């Protein structure tokens, strides 16, 4: 990130200008507040009161919440930067373009920061009503301290409200960029975003809990106090949910994109290393990759959840996405996997006649070729006679199943002349 203080949020910029670590700044702010309070009490001639708990109970909220806000804002900022950087391997742009996008996403709007600081100051005046404080002898300087501490505390608090919501909106905008992820991408890449979301919740819940310690039952029932805590709780929930929602939407969009692409396209593969397969080339449709074999059986890769089918993912060499997966091999006997990482499960082939004969069974099919079901959406899966490439031109959905010779000849060149007669050809009668 840029070193220009203007590239940082207001509090972080002040910390950077001090050239001290955030924890030293937090300690110095705390010490400064204690010294200011001590000076005020001393000027009022009431230094002995500092030995009583009731005295500290009236002042500890500012003494603790102001340093806490400084500390937690720095904590949130660092988590946000890590969340922004987590998008680098996910976005379909080069490093220079990402650096520009990240700088824009992390750059503060100083004008709005100061607007919210002033709103907090106004709220402090309205809630604290400094004109109602004891300004007479013996309490004058303590009242001055209360006004200063209350103004600073609420100014920082409302600034943090803005910073949290603005940061959430910027992360959400990043998550709407074009992503180079598929349905089984490594979700560990999104962990910094999840940690940032959790950090928001922890930071705000901690501040709310800390402030409640110094509230009396009478003060909690005041309208101004109820309003303040409603704002704080709302920001906590909204910041956490919106940030997590953007992460959830990132994954959901990747899944929808992958499933749409897989379910609306028929992929073609050839064996580049054998003849005549290596003669087959692009025609109306492209060859999508090279298929490999294990003892004359082609490797076929089926992704979890959406069951998208591919022929060139090379999981046998590169490993399964996420580390676990099931390997089926033809044995003539159908078996169930022992767990989600069983690497040797047998399967058998069943005559498609059995399913074709039930193609009009309303207990199985919602309509012709569409299975009846309500898992992950209503009636989403298709039988083979409903598999269709949505942009393959003059080929109907049924021809994949009923007339595959025509489909293959139409799709690809280099096949030569071959018979389109069938020993068995299914007809929908």
| Predicted confidence (pLDDT) per residue in 255-298, tens digit | 665 655 566 778 888 888 888 888 888 888 888 888 888 888 89
Confidence band of 3 (pLDDT split at 50, 70, 90): low
Residue 11 burial by Cβ neighbours in a 10 Å radius (0-12, 13-18, 19+) = buried
Structural domain includes residue 36: yes
- Contact between residue 11 and residue 22 where contact means Cβ atoms under 8 Å apart: no
Structural domain includes residue 349: no
Q: What is the pLDDT of residues 17-60, one digit of tens each?
A: 988 999 999 999 999 999 999 999 898 888 888 888 778 877 88
β-sheet bridge partners, residue 294: 297
Cα(170)–Cα(190) distance, rounded to whole angstroms? 16
Structural domain includes residue 167: yes
Question: Is 286 strand, coil or helix?
Answer: coil
Structural domain includes residue 198: yes
Structural domain includes residue 156: yes
pLDDT at 250 over 80: no
Structural domain includes residue 372: no
**Residue carrying structure tokens 């749409």:** 260
Average pLDDT over residues 350-368: 88
Structural domain includes residue 70: yes
What are the DSSP calls for 324-390, one per residue?
----EEE-SS----SSTT-S-EEE----THHHHTTTT-TTTEEETTEE---TTSSS--B-GGG---T
For 45, left (φ over 0), alpha (ψ -120 to 50), or beta? left
Cα(36)–Cα(369) distance, rounded to whole angstroms? 79
Count of the separate structural domains present in the chain: 1
**Beta-strand relationship, 345-347 and 328-330:** parallel
Domain that holds residue 97: 5-263
Structural domain includes residue 59: yes
- Dihedrals φ, ψ of 347, to 5°? -140, 160
Confidence band of 176 (pLDDT split at 50, 70, 90): confident
């Amino acid at each position: 990130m840029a070193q220009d203080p203007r590239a940082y949020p207001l509090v972080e910029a002040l910390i950077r200008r001090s050239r001290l670590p955030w924890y030293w700044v937090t300690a110095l702010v705390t010490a400064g507040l204690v010294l200011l309070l001590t000076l005020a009490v001393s000027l009022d001639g009431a230094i002995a009161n500092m030995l009583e708990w009731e005295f500290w109970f009236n002042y500890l909220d500012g003494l603790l919440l102001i340093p806490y806000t400084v500390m937690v804002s720095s904590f949130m900022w660092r988590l946000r930067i890590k969340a922004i950087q987590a998008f680098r391997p996910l976005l379909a742009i080069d490093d220079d373009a990402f650096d520009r996008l990240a700088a824009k996403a992390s750059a503060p709007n100083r004008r709005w920061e100061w607007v919210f600081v002033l709103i907090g100051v106004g709220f402090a005046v309205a809630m604290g009503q400094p004109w109602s404080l004891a300004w007479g002898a013996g309490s004058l300087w303590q009242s001055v301290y209360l006004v200063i501490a209350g103004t600073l505390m609420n100014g920082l608090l409302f600034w943090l409200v803005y910073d949290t919501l603005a940061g959430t909106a910027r992360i959400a905008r990043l998550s709407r960029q074009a992503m180079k992820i598929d349905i089984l991408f490594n979700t560990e890449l999104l962990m910094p975003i999840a940690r940032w979301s959790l950090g928001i919740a922890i930071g705000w819940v901690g501040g709310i809990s800390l402030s409640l310690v110094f509230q009396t039952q009478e003060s909690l029932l005041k309208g101004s106090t109820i309003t303040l805590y409603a704002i704080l709780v709302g920001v906590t929930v909204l910041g956490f949910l919106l940030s997590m929602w953007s992460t959830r939407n990132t994954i959901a969009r990747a899944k929808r994109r992958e499933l749409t692409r897989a379910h609306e396209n028929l992929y073609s593969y050839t064996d580049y290393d054998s003849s005549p397969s290596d003669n087959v080339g692009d025609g109306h449709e492209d060859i999508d990759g090279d298929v490999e074999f294990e003892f004359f059986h082609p490797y076929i890769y089926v992704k979890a959840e959406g069951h998208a089918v591919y022929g060139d993912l090379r999981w046998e060499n590169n490993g399964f996405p996420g580390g676990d997966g099931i390997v089926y091999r033809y044995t003539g006997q159908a078996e169930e996997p022992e767990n989600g990482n069983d690497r040797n499960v047998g399967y058998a082939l069943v005559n498609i006649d059995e399913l074709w004969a039930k193609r009009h069974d309303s207990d199985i099919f919602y309509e012709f070729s569409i299975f009846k079901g309500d898992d992950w959406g209503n009636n989403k899966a298709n039988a083979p006679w409903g598999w269709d490439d949505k942009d393959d031109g003059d080929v109907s959905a049924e021809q994949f199943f009923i007339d595959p010779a025509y489909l293959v000849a139409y799709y690809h060149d280099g096949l030569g002349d071959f018979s389109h007669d069938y020993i068995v050809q299914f007809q929908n009668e």
